[in-house]
């Protein structure tokens, strides 16, 4: 098994065809077939069903796919680290849920960039499942997430609690029974609190799973929604959004999850946490 073979397998999966995979990789179809056969013989499993209509993964192929992608990502990371310029001696890869990036992710990234010139940086957007997989495979060294990670190899620090308040494009927007209310998924704890606070309000006609998307939607279409205070503040300052003061406010915790094996080689890591976060291990 080698990197070329893994790339061939992923190309077949992505394109759904051995022919299209050969075109993407600029090799003959027989070469793709030979590589796939060698991979399957090495694993002792059939990974791809060859059909006239195309190629489909077997159950074994479906399981192997995420490992193949992780190994390719690790290979790319290894190439990046070994190709670092002379002034850089380490790389820090950060995973971040997009809704956390505008304030906390950006703040973390900039602090490392400004205080650790010998450190190369990489940032990857993803959701909780992505963060956990990337931490397990070593693709990222730390993650900013809404959920802590319970694992002996990682430390989860509660770095902040963001306030979710009700904002509207109208000062006189009703707190309850707003026909233009947009429900934003703020996690399980928020869902429970929201249901208790608005048990008689019915179901919102529109739901969005991202605060950033929801904020953009409100600015373009109008309405009201629960948003992180940090995200909404610039738009409140400009008069585009208004905080509805009488509405309930909810909390959502943010965690920094770090790979203990990696960060112990960073003498600046604890200082980083103290400098920009209210750390609660």
pLDDT tens per residue, range 168-188: 999 999 988 888 999 999 888
User: Which regions of the chain carry the CATH code 3.40.190.290?
Assistant: 88-281
DSSP 5-50: HHHHHHHHHHHTSHHHHHHHHTS-HHHHHHHHHHHHHHHTS--EEE
pLDDT for residue 238:
96
- Report which of 115, 121, 108, 34 is spatially closest to residue 77, judged by C-alpha positions: 121
Please give the DSSP secondary-structure letter assigned to residue 201. Answer: S
Tell me which residues of the chain have a pLDDT lower than 70.
Answer: 1, 79-89, 278-281
Would you state the pLDDT for residue 176?
85
Which pLDDT belongs to residue 281? 42
pTM of whole model > 0.85?
Answer: no
Among the four given CATH numbers 3.40.190.10, 3.40.630.30, 1.10.10.10, 1.20.1050.10, the one describing domain 3-80: 1.10.10.10
pLDDT of 88 reads 64
CATH 1.10.10.10 region(s) of the chain? 3-80
Q: What is the pLDDT of residue 80?
A: 65
Average pLDDT, rounded, for the chain: 87
pLDDT for the residue numbered 274: 84
SS3 of 199, please? Answer: coil
Query: Domain 88-281 maps to which CATH number in 1.10.3720.10, 3.40.50.300, 3.40.190.290, 3.40.50.1370?
Result: 3.40.190.290
**SS3 assignment, position 64:** helix
């Amino acid at each position: 098994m080698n990197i070329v073979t893994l790339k061939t397998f992923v190309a077949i999966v992505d394109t759904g065809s051995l022919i299209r995979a050969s075109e993407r990789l600029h090799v003959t179809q027989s070469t793709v077939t030979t590589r796939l056969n060698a991979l399957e013989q090495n694993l002792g499993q059939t990974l791809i069903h060859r059909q006239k209509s195309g190629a489909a993964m077997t159950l074994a192929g479906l399981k192997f796919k995420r490992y193949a992608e992780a190994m390719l990502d690790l290979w790319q990371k290894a190439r990046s680290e070994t190709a670092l310029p002379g002034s850089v001696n380490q790389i820090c890869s950060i995973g971040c849920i997009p809704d956390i990036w505008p304030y906390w992710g950006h703040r973390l990234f900039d602090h490392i960039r400004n205080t650790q010139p010998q450190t190369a940086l990489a940032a990857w957007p993803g959701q909780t499942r992505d963060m956990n997989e990337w931490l397990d495979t070593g693709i990222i060294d730390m993650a900013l997430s809404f959920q802590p990670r319970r694992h002996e190899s990682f430390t989860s620090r509660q770095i902040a609690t963001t306030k979710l308040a009700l904002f509207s494009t109208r000062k006189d927007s009703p707190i309850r029974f707003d026909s233009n209310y947009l429900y934003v998924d703020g996690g399980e704890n928020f869902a429970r609190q929201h249901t208790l606070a608005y048990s008689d309000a019915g179901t919102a006609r529109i739901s969005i799973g991202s605060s950033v998307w929801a904020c953009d939607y409100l600015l373009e279409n109008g309405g009201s929604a629960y948003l992180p205070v940090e995200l909404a503040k610039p738009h409140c300052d400009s008069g585009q959004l208004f905080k509805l003061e009488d509405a309930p406010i909810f909390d959502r915790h943010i965690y920094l999850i770090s790979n203990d094996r990696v960060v112990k080689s960073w003498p600046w890591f604890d200082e980083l946490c103290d400098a920009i976060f209210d750390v609660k291990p």
